[in-house]
Structure 1
Amino acid sequence: MPRQRRRRRPLHAADLRIEAWAPTMHACFAGAVGALAESILGPGRPPVSATVRFDVRGDNPSALLDAVLRRVISFLPRHNAIATTAEVVRTETGLRVRCELVDAGAVVLPGPIPKGVSRGSVLCERTDLGWWCAAGIDV
Structure 2
Amino acid sequence: MERRPARGHRNIPHTADVRIEAWAPDREGCVAEAVTALVDTFVDTTGAAAGGETAFRVPPGADTDLLVGVLDEVIFRMDTAGELPLETEVRAADDGGLAVRWRTTGTDAVELVGAVPKAVSLHELCFAAESVGWRCAVTLDV
Alignment TM-score, normalising by the size of structure 1: 0.90
Q: Please state whether the residue corresponding to 2:111 is helix, strand or coil.
A: coil
Q: Is the 8 A contact 1:42 1:111 kept in 2?
A: no
Shift in alpha-carbon separation, 1:24–1:74, aligned structure 2, 3 A: same
Question: What is the deviation of 1:45?
Answer: 4.7
- Uncovered stretches (5+) of structure 2, i.e. residues with no partner: none
Is 2:127 aligned against 1:124? yes
Question: What is the deviation of 1:57?
Answer: 1.8
Is 2:138 aligned against 1:135? yes
Q: Which residue of 1 aligns with 2:87?
A: 85
- Uncovered stretches (5+) of structure 1, i.e. residues with no partner: none
* Count of aligned positions: 138
Cα distance in 1 for partners of 2:21, 2:109 equals: 27
Q: Please state whether the residue corresponding to 1:119 is helix, strand or coil.
A: strand
The 4+ residue runs of structure 1 with deviation greater than 3 A are: none
Q: Please state whether the residue corresponding to 1:12 is helix, strand or coil.
A: coil
Shift in alpha-carbon separation, 1:121–1:45, aligned structure 2, 3 A: farther
Alignment TM-score, normalising by the size of structure 2: 0.88
Q: Is the 8 A contact 1:34 1:84 kept in 2?
A: yes
Q: Please state whether the residue corresponding to 1:33 is helix, strand or coil.
A: helix
RMSD: 1.8
Question: How much identity, in percent, do the aligned residues show?
Answer: 34
Shift in alpha-carbon separation, 1:43–1:76, aligned structure 2, 3 A: closer
Q: Is the 8 A contact 2:21 2:136 kept in 1?
A: yes
Q: Is the 8 A contact 2:63 2:127 kept in 1?
A: yes
